[in-house]
Structure 1
């Protein structure tokens, strides 16, 4: 690429880099940070639509399945509006925004900003989230603080920021100061999550640990391994500190399950979830193919309560507290496929970036894998959202959904840019060798 085209790209590179930094920074500490960021990415892409499309087109083979599942989810929402008289047009809002979030990936591929812009935004966002939620819990006495979100969503997103910050620390494994700062962001995200008392995120930590162990052979830095071990040790130690409430909530959860199984008290967080899942199973069995409209679903649950099949305590809950069940109950098998697709397709994309062939090639050349950190971060985000969805409908919230889409598409863009830079470097190196011979 000639110097003229590089200079022409610099203003856009600065703008997109700033947006990458801003998005995670304001996601948890402002009321509308996630929505504002999504609109900003889209408006920027609309100023350069042809260039963005041209920059993305060469990667079509790699990204097609990810885009396809987001298109499928939107098409399913359109079909529901057309075929269901009770459906409303506002049900198209969320799937359309998720699909348009691909503008963030297109901008990254076009402008090629440095991954550091996202990393420092994530670190700053995690560090800023900790005192924000700590003030609510300690100074204001709120038992389950959640900032401008509910406690569960805030805790989930804080954990995501912490895990992505760990990936940033891996990217800076050869720079002790930067790695330490990224590690501080990771610890801040984990601590903010703990302060919210969100139990569903603990499963995400277990899956994250498995993922880190799977790629431990590529983490050659002893200090980095100590950081990872320390992060998870902090969470384990917090379990035994009474002030965190982790042990109490874990034991309470197990007791609630046993009580519900024995036919006892349903009026607990776990008990109401189990009662909801019982009702969902009944409705799914009746309408397995297409499911029920969201409002119709609530009406049917209310009828079961009136008939005495379910406990009245569940009527205060908006959704089924399980992403898979919610998708299956409201969209049937097609809804389940749409939900599973937006998790599986991105995970496969990121896993392929870390495939054995790419690793072997990089190690044989004695260089690092440039897309390792963003690909690992992407897998961590997907695994986290899967685990959140086991006890919560994380995709119910527009903010939670948009955070996922933007983070996934930004990390996909960084993976593609990193591979392109590596290919260009390899080409230049080859030309130099040929001239030398």
Structure 2
């Protein structure tokens, strides 16, 4: 009976492994990959429904707060859609698709694909991203290359791929197997490729995420993650060294940022990258002051911006962007307290889940690489969201939700493998 079950699940395990591989490998190198992967996870769920439902029920005490956080985030947007006639129907799409990504969690729990598929997917995605923006920057001469999307989103996701490949080394060094050194080398190269892909875009938001990731690993080093601290520290050192290489553009971007802030503060030119952000954040604060509890719609907020521009209270640079370039301010200004709680929930609940799993794995003597990677994803998105709207992009939304739920499934499968 067990042999028959194994033979039945084997094709599904291979198929699910291919989907897990597709999420990080296709996110930046194709325009359709992430959407196709999310759709195929949903289509696969009926084929493993009995096992998936049983696994979800078995792990529900651990999973519930994450699943409910994504459900709450969708419910808030749905409520505002129902009570605000000006809210467009497409405003429901991203939070609904993010919640439906729970199908990936259920499929991974039932089919139990190999973690290696995600690790090698991250390596393939990181290398592909680096080659793509490298070609755009070096061969085509594009100053801020962004592959198939904008430079900021591309650079931030590329960095996430690098961090996932980096944490994957933890899964290899703890196993004494032939070829382990070669796998660590390839995973390290994938991590480096993701980092360089981010640097080539000129994206500054990723640098803060690097620092937060290093601080997290310093904090987690007592759990058996010391070698990752060294590797990531080397990555931070590399970025610091690239500051002195003019061709990297890092020094130029930092100097531009300092100049933008000084100009805005002195009342000068506000039509700069940081100047626009600072003016938007000022306007967001004014909107929040008027509607602190429940916020206001994007359309109504833009109308208020137009009025304040006419009154001279804001510069006209705020009229072009469609969002606040800050996830927290966007959530609070458009959704009020419920909106902010929704945003905090989809970041904080997964981080707490993975942190508990990382501690359980370390206590049992089996460091959980999937749990550590899971901690780095919401931490990175928090850092990115300080200067950019990561959850405005459908591509970035689906990458976040799928990576969180896939990593949750792999984390719990790893615990069961070790009897934890």
What TM bracket, shorter-length normalisation? over 0.9
Structure 1: state its 5+ residue gaps: 363-367, 427-437
> 2:169: which partner in 1?
169
- Matching of residue 291 in structure 1 with residue 287 in structure 2: no
> 1:395: which partner in 2?
391
- Matching of residue 324 in structure 1 with residue 338 in structure 2: no
> 1:261: which partner in 2?
265
TM-score in terms of structure 2 length: 0.95
Q: Deviations over 1:362-408 (max 9, x none)?
A: 2xxxxx23xx2101101111110000000001100011110000000
Q: Distance in 1 between matches of 2:225 and 2:343?
A: 36
> 1:280: which partner in 2?
284
Q: CA deviation at 1:218?
A: 4.0
Q: CA deviation at 1:220?
A: 7.2
> 1:435: which partner in 2?
none
Give the counterpart of 1:180 among 172, 185, 192: 185
> 1:132: which partner in 2?
132
**Alpha carbons of 1:358 and 1:167: their partners in 2 closer, same or farther (altered >3 Å)?**
closer
Q: In structure 2, the residue corresponding to 1:390 is in which secondary structure?
A: coil
Residue-pair matches, total: 415
Q: Distance in 2 between matches of 1:94 and 1:113?
A: 27
Q: Deviations over 1:72-121 (max 9, x none)?
A: 01111111111111122221111110000011111110001110011001
Q: CA deviation at 1:161?
A: 0.2
Aligned residues of 1:219 and 1:225 also touching (Cα < 8 A): no
- Matching of residue 243 in structure 1 with residue 243 in structure 2: no
Q: Distance in 2 between matches of 1:85 and 1:228?
A: 48
> 2:202: which partner in 1?
197
Q: Deviations over 1:277-312 (max 9, x none)?
A: 111101101001111112222121122112211111
Q: CA deviation at 1:158?
A: 0.2
**Alpha carbons of 1:220 and 1:139: their partners in 2 closer, same or farther (altered >3 Å)?**
closer
Aligned residue runs from structure 1 range 13-412, under 5 A:
13-173=13-173, 174=175, 175-219=180-224, 226-355=230-359, 358-362=361-365, 368-369=366-367, 372-412=368-408
- Structure showing greater Rg: 1
42-51 or 274-283: bigger deviation: 42-51
Q: Distance in 1 between matches of 2:269 and 2:163?
A: 36
Q: Distance in 2 between matches of 1:221 and 1:153?
A: 30
Q: Distance in 1 between matches of 2:225 and 2:309?
A: 57
Q: Distance in 1 between matches of 2:27 and 2:363?
A: 37
Q: RMSD value over aligned CA atoms? A: 1.6
207-216 or 175-184: bigger deviation: 207-216
Q: Deviations over 1:321-349 (max 9, x none)?
A: 00000000110010000001000000000
Aligned residues of 2:325 and 2:387 also touching (Cα < 8 A): yes
Q: CA deviation at 1:55?
A: 2.1
> 1:434: which partner in 2?
none
Q: Distance in 2 between matches of 1:85 and 1:350?
A: 39
Q: Distance in 1 between matches of 2:229 and 2:93?
A: 43
Aligned residues of 2:217 and 2:229 also touching (Cα < 8 A): no
Structure 2: state its 5+ residue gaps: none
Q: Distance in 1 between matches of 2:78 and 2:229?
A: 47
Q: Distance in 2 between matches of 1:182 and 1:359?
A: 22
TM-score in terms of structure 1 length: 0.92
Q: Distance in 1 between matches of 2:319 and 2:313?
A: 13
398-407 or 239-248: bigger deviation: 239-248
**Alpha carbons of 1:387 and 1:226: their partners in 2 closer, same or farther (altered >3 Å)?**
closer
